Amino acid sequence: MPQTPHRLNWKFAVLAACFVGGVCLTWYTVRGDPAYRTLLTMGYLILLFILLRTKIIQLPKKTEEPPVDGRSTRSDVGKGAGLMFGAAVWVPLMTSVVPDTPVGVAVVLVPFGALLLGGAFLLIRDLFRKLQQ
């Protein structure tokens, strides 16, 4: 079905607004106050959500289909998310306890990196499993 010029103008307007919003968010991330980084991340996710909902960016068909064996992949996602949550909790917890020395920094960063890499490995393994099905 061919798209009408009205539909193309609407998509172009949404895409242009998201582009301007993304440039503004990027500029503020680099030059602005670092206290608002969580809000800026939420802004990026909202822009991505708008682009996906308006179907300007379309996901591949395989991502919309449910996996054949959902139990094993859900457990990998759960483990990966748990490890990443543990990494996010580890840093603030340990920075309040460990002194600010090179050994203290290693005590904070080595387990953080291990938890983060483990979680990323499990999430990426789940993603490749879904793509192979």
Reported as a single tens digit per residue, the pLDDT across 79-108 is: 888 888 888 888 888 888 888 888 988 888
Reported as a single tens digit per residue, the pLDDT across 108-131 is: 899 999 999 998 898 888 877 777
Reported as a single tens digit per residue, the pLDDT across 36-57 is: 666 767 777 787 777 777 777 6
pTM of the model: 0.45
| Residue 2, SS3 per DSSP | coil
Q: Percent of the chain beyond pLDDT 70?
A: 71
DSSP 79-117: HHHHHHHHHHHHHHHHHTTS-SSHHHHHHHHHHHHHHHH
pLDDT band at 7 (very low <50, low <70, confident <90, very high): low
